[in-house]
Structure 1
Amino acid sequence: MVMQERVVVLYQKCLAGTADAAEKLELSQLLEEPANEARIRAAIDDLLAADKPLEDIPEETMGSMLRAIFEAAEATGPVRNKSPRSIARRVWWAAAVVLGVVATTWYVRQQYRTMPESAPVAIQATPGYNKAVLTLASGEVVLLDSAGQQQLSQGAILAQQQGGLLTYKHTGNKTEAGYNTLSTPRGGQFRVVLPDGTTVWLNAASSLRYPLAFTGKQRLVEVTGEAFFTVAPDAAKPFHVKVNGVVEVAVLGTSFNINAYTDEQYIRTTLLEGAVNVTKGATTVRLHPGQQAEASNRANGLQVATGIDPAQVVAWKNGVFDFNRMPLDVVMRQLARWYDIEVAYEKNIPDITFWGKMGRDLPLSDVLLILEKSQVHVRLEKNGKKLIVIP
């Protein structure tokens, strides 16, 4: 609690313009702690919830918030084994996670004042949300979204949607045949509890095909894109996942993440709890918690990677982008899927490695400001649906 109070004091000093370089640096470092970040978020929320509407907040206040972020990055001194550019970027990301919304509001206000009245306004991409398409065994297609509340009967199987969650329940003695497929578009995510109690989170541009009832000696589902599984234990009926038709993951009861986007180099299976066997062709590897199996999307081969940060792998499930140690092209592919935009490069892909995290609820305009301060220059085309990375 002492540190959380300290971060508020430093924030207020930066806001008032009385913080020195050491205090700005201390604030930027404290902001990397989630509890401290939450305290500053609360302070900003109090400001935005004041009696005055947002547009009436003095420009000086907006400006001092923005300068506090920028100056925190500039105050960072050299650190052993890390380049000043990398450290500055890490500090900026930590600060931007907290102050992005307010800073961007100030920034956009300045841009708007210098914009000719006749200039066209680009449509800004919004962050993704709970939405999916459910294809029933009959072939009927049902749209699901955050506001949906509905029940879908398929014989003795009842599928119930409550917002971003779809749950299956067996309501009779009859065993139902057939499959359902849950698919998320770009900019969508969804969660489903399968008939056996297994929970699956689907990331954007992903799909899960599963039976209405798990009969036989194993439980088999098929996945594309990215999904996180918490498998219900059943030693008599092991759980199997077919990934893109080329990799199979066999488990009993465990938690793991599969990233199988076709525009990535590898199909990656990351184990959080339990144990799984991952098979590609004639090769099988057994994973232990914290390990990751990498199967090439473009060639033969299956290998095990260690030293993986499981929290980073599943950050998407918890509403966070975790870009620590990620190259620019990987960051851009994640943003493209979540904001449903096209990303292109005017020349070569810049050699930039990112540090830090940000919420997946930020509007694209905030993200672009963060990229700009991270020395990534972009422009929007096609009414805001195409992002061009420029030198």
Structure 2
Amino acid sequence: MEKLVEIPLDLAQKCVKCGLCKSVCPTYRQEEGSYARGRLALAEMVVKGDLPLTQEVAKQWDECAMCRRCEWICPNDVQYKEIMAFARHHQKKKLGMGLVKRMALKSLMLLQSPLGRKVVPILGKILRLLPAEGLRIIFPTGARKFMPKASPSAFELRGKVFQADQEKGKLLFFTGCMIDAFYTETGRNVIKLMNRAGYTVIVPEDIRCCGAPHYYSGDMESFTQLKEHNMKEMSKYQYDAVVVACPTCGGALKEDYGIDKDVFDFTQIIQKNPLPFKGNGERVTFHVPCHSYTAMKLKEEVFYDTLKMVKNAEVRKASKDKSCCGFAGIFSITNPALSDKIQKEKMDDLLKTEAQVVLTTCPGCVLQLTDGTRKYGKCQKVMHLADYLAQRLHDGEDRGSLQR
């Protein structure tokens, strides 16, 4: 049989078939179907021409959440992400891409376009008239999700510089799609924290989607287009490092952009520049986003050390704090049954902590966990860690000033 695609076979062959990845794969635990080792074996057989690429093979690849926990636990450093991205790229070329996934990726391109930046705030102002906090959306795949409403102030941070009083350095804030369009308050709070830590924050005018969803889905053409655009835009500014509040964006910048500036999660800046936080006696727990430790290679201690700065707050660590929440972007829409099972397992674990507030550092996880509290009737409040910390700054001041 003819070889059909040039997947980096040498990377796949590093897998020694130990099966350790099975213990951490969120989809295998729910369905006992394929997991990293099996998906790699399928890719290897397709590469060698021993197996035709069929819809059934593609289904096994599509059921992967790309959380990359298999990479995190792999003793042989198998680069699972790269193999699956190439496999899905070939899948896209030979079998096409499903309508829902194709539309989702296109919408991310449109969202950050000049047209999208005009339309989204208008939509946000209209939706603000609705009393509901969010919207219950039913997707063609059968997925039902509680989604945040577009923000009336979407993209308002773009093209601005937030000056620190006593500047230690300049940070370029790569905001990301969800913060730009839906969680704009989180973006403002990241800036507030960075200013208080002594850093001037620059928000580029025309940053687009980081392209990670496209790369992970095998849409290499769109990823390359987005990467080239963003690199050109970032080159217009003078800064010392990049700060993110989304680990998927941060991982893309570190791994796939190859930028020569350091990329930091905002908590890393706070860890090096402690701030005075004061809680209200609340019990909190933390969900560690998969891409924070698989893509950005962060230690979970950075989050818990940051939480220790909050006086008068009790931190209760969940037993499965690093398990996947089941969002994984488009995965939760195209695989609703699998996503819901993973989500339910996560929510049950968080409930056992008896925490009143669930914190995380990924906007996508905020969406998924908030949706989980709605589905399963839990009363826990879900917050991005930046929002929680900004609300608990001891003196409540915002010492940054806005400059054009």
TM over 0.5, shorter chain? no
TM range (shorter): under 0.3
TM-score (norm 2): 0.27
Q: Which has the higher helix share?
A: 2
Q: Which has the higher strand share?
A: 1
TM-score (norm 1): 0.28
Structure with more relative contact order (C-alpha pairs < 8 Å, separation 6 or more): 2
